[in-house]
Structures are given as C-alpha cells and as structure tokens.
C-alpha cells in the first residue's frame, strides 16, 4: 500500500518561477498513490503550462471560475469538499496576502476560503525573493494565515532566480511530499518532545582507523520521521551515517560513544521520550595514536588496550526523571541469535519499560526489518516490512503506552 492511496490532493499553483518544481511535485504525489487536481492562477500559467500539469496529473487543470469548459458552476465549493488536503505550491507573497485578508477573486483563492477548515488542511509552500520573505507585511500575513488554520511549511535557503541568495526558496518536491504524508498521519505524539539516537559510533584507534559496526542508521532515521509525522518535536542524535535528515527534524551529528552521551545529556532534560536505536560501540581504545600506526611500529596492533564505553541507555534510564516515569525510555537490541531471550535480558539489564529487538546481520543497511517488541507483560512481533512502516507502528505503540 502506498502512503497516499485513496487520498485526493488539490495542488494550487501561484505565479512564481518555482512552478517548475510543481511538475515534479505532482509526479511524486501521483506515484505515492494520490489523485491530484491542479488549480492554477492566471499568473501561474505564465511560468508553466496547464497542459504540462494535466499530463502529469491525468486530470483537466482548472484556471478560472468562469472557464466554459468547467461544467460545475460551484467548482470552488466542490473542489474543497472533495479534497483531503489543499497544497499551494508555490504560494506567492500576493496569494498569502489575499488569504490573510479573505480576498477571493479567482478560483484558487475561492476554494481556499470555501474549504471546511476543520476537515481539509491547507498547506502553504511559500516561494519568493528574500526581501519579500523578510518584509514585515509578509511576516504579518503569514502569522495571520497560520492563526486562521493554515500550515505554513517554511522555506529553503539558497540561490534565487533573481541572483540573490537567502531565505525564500520553495521547499524541494520530495520535502513537500513528506509534508503532505505527515499531514495525514495521526498526531498521537502532538506536543511531545522525542530524542532519538541512530547509527553506529566510531571509536578512533589512530587518525585513519577505528572500531565501529555495520549499522546504517536507517531504522533510527525512519523512527525520527515517524515521530515527527505524529506531531512530536524531534531531535535526532546521529552517528556517522550517510542519510538525509527527515524534514522538520533537528539533527545533531556525533562520532564516538562519549560524544553521543554528551549530546543526549544536553537534550534529555527537555525530552518526553528517548528512543535509543543507535548501535553504540561497547569498547574504545584507552589511548588514540596521534599518527597512523605503521606495521613496523614498536607498538603492534595486537597490544591495543580497550576500555568499556558508557552505557547511554542505562544511564538515562536510571535518571530521576525516568524513574519518576516523566521520561519514557525505549531501547533497541541488535542481536545475532536467541533474539527473544537476549532482548528480554537486555530490557531487564537496562531497566527500561520497552525493548525492541532485531537480528542485526539481517537488517543492517537494508530497507526492511522485522521487530520484536518486549515489555514486562510479554512480547509481540512486527513482521517483515519497510522500516518506515514499522517505525509508524512503533510510534503508535509508544503513544498508546504513554496514554496518547
């Protein structure tokens, strides 16, 4: 099943050079399973043709309330009633001003004003010059439309068609797709703060070598995205991985286990949930050579002395807030055999209410996983599925246990 199966999206385009991104956005929405009805302002047709958007959406594009080809004289009413989400991308400064003042002089502004506010989310993806974005009038209008119930998705920073560099770029199509998907997910962690660790750690031996493991971080990153979709404010402490940060997630990059502990300690006081998915190295060298250790060195690698790394999850689980149940702790166990017994033992040893086990060699670097969820009552298995699907199930489990 695709993320947007059975969802109907009204995609509105305003006058902006960023309309070129809307073609790719429409394609991504359709690929994700949605039906897409494109509605364009007259200004938008100066940047991209309705025929292009019609070919991508496979539906007639609507540009005017008075279009003789539009058989429905109440299109502005019915379009908004049929939609699951209205996404305006790009959304110009002019259109934001119209929404802020309730003006409705074209089909797109009419349907936005006519939509049932409580039933149909309105997402705005602004696109404009940096000076226009930072102008006090634009910022006042953005605050007004947000207070009226619209969701302003924010902007990117970078080079502009006008030659300037700064804030105001429309978010990329893949980011906007994620925002639409997130909008439709249950907000079971709304208002909660979630701290997640992900990936391996790297324990240096010398400037070019170290101790690490095969964890890719994909499960932790999927959980970070799922938690953010569920309405949480998410901080992701990531070891050395090559993964894109889920949109809307605050990321803190670390290298070693000690650095990860320091980052967790910095953010834990504000967290409601800790989900420790990181595969933290158990050991690190006592000393780190300042230069590469050569084969002919007087200190052979066989004499490498190791010391145990701090146990991040156990340390947090024994903190006063965790013991008072003000902080809900979830751990992960990456095992190679006897998964149930090893996960149960690790849960008791760490002192956490919930431990999630998986077979590390079978999941490291893969897009799918199988999870075993263990608590003080028993266990249940989440059968093999994409990691994002499993992450959403796990977040729902955590929210239920927290009373969400």
| Distance separating the N- and C-terminal Cα atoms of the chain | 26
Give pLDDT tens digits for 153-162.
999 999 988 8
φ, ψ of residue 347 to 5 degrees: the values are -60, -45
Write down which residue in 157, 183, 209 finishes a domain: 183
List the 85-91 sheet strands across, edge first. Answer: 35-40, 8-13, 85-91, 122-126, 151-152
Write down which residue in 183, 209, 227 finishes a domain: 183
Count other C-beta atoms under 10 Å from residue 325's C-beta. Answer: 10
CATH code of the domain containing 319: 3.40.50.10300
Which domain, by its residues, includes 227? 193-401
Q: Are residues 254 and 351 in the same domain?
A: yes
Q: Does a structural domain hold residue 188?
A: no
Q: What is the pTM of this model?
A: 0.90
Domain count, the chain: 2
Catalytic residue among 162, 183, 329, 400: 162
| pLDDT value at residue 74 | 67
Q: Are residues 207 and 77 in the same domain?
A: no
Find, among 268, 227, 264, 269, the residue nearest to 248 by Cα. Answer: 227
Look up residue 393 and give its two tokens.
């199930």
φ, ψ of residue 323 to 5 degrees: the values are -65, -30
Find, among 53, 44, 50, 51, the residue nearest to 19 by Cα. Answer: 44
Q: Are residues 58 and 104 in the same domain?
A: yes
Q: Are residues 291 and 374 in the same domain?
A: yes
Give pLDDT tens digits for 373-402.
999 999 999 999 999 999 999 999 999 998
Give pLDDT tens digits for 223-268.
999 999 999 999 999 999 999 999 999 999 999 999 999 999 999 9
Q: Are residues 395 and 298 in the same domain?
A: yes
pLDDT at residue 297 above 80? no
Q: Are residues 105 and 147 in the same domain?
A: yes
Does the annotation count 258 as an active-site position? no
Q: Are residues 135 and 110 in the same domain?
A: yes
pLDDT at residue 342 above 90? yes
CATH code of the domain containing 77: 3.40.50.1950
pLDDT at residue 68 above 60? no
CA distance 10 to 269: 41
């Amino acid at each position: 099943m695709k993320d947007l199966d059975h969802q109907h999206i009204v995609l509105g385009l305003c006058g902006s050079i960023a309309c070129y991104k809307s073609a790719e956005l429409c394609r991504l929405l359709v690929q994700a399973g949605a039906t897409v009805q494109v509605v364009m302002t007259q200004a938008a047709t100066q940047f991209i043709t309705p025929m292009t958007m019609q070919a991508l959406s496979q539906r007639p594009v609507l540009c005017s309330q008075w279009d003789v080809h539009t058989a429905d004289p109440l299109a502005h009413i019915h379009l908004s009633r049929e939609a699951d989400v209205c996404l305006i991308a790009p959304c110009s400064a002019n259109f934001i001003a119209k929404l802020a003042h309730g003006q409705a002089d074209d089909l797109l502004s009419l349907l936005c004003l006519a939509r049932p506010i409580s039933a149909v989310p309105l997402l705005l993806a602004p696109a404009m010059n940096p000076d226009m974005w930072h102008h006090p009038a634009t910022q006042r209008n953005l605050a007004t439309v947000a207070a009226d119930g619209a969701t302003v998705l924010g902007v990117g920073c970078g080079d502009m068609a006008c030659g300037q560099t700064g804030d105001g770029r429309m978010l990329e199509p893949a980011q906007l797709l994620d925002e639409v998907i997130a909008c439709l997910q249950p907000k079971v962690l709304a208002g909660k703060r979630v701290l997640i660790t992900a990936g391996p750690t790297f324990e240096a031996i010398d400037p070019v070598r170290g101790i690490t493991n095969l964890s890719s971080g994909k499960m932790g990153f999927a959980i970070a995205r799922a938690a953010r979709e569920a309405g949480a404010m998410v901080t992701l402490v990531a070891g050395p991985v090559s993964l894109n940060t889920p949109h809307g997630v605050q990321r803190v990059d670390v290298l070693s286990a000690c650095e990860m502990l320091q980052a967790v300690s910095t953010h834990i006081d504000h967290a409601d949930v800790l989900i420790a998915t990181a595969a933290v190295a158990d050991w690190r060298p006592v000393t780190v050579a300042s230069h590469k250790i050569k084969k002919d060195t007087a200190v052979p690698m066989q004499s490498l002395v190791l010391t145990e790394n701090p146990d991040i999850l156990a340390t947090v689980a024994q903190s006063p807030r965790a013991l008072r149940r003000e902080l809900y702790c979830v751990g992960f166990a990456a095992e190679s055999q006897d998964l149930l017994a090893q996960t149960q033992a690790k849960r008791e040893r760490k002192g956490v209410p919930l431990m999630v086990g998986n077979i590390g060699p079978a999941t490291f670097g893969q897009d799918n996983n199988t999870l075993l969820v263990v608590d003080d009552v028993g266990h249940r298995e989440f059968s093999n599925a994409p990691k994002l699907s499993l992450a959403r199930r796990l977040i729902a489990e955590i929210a239920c246990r927290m009373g969400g």
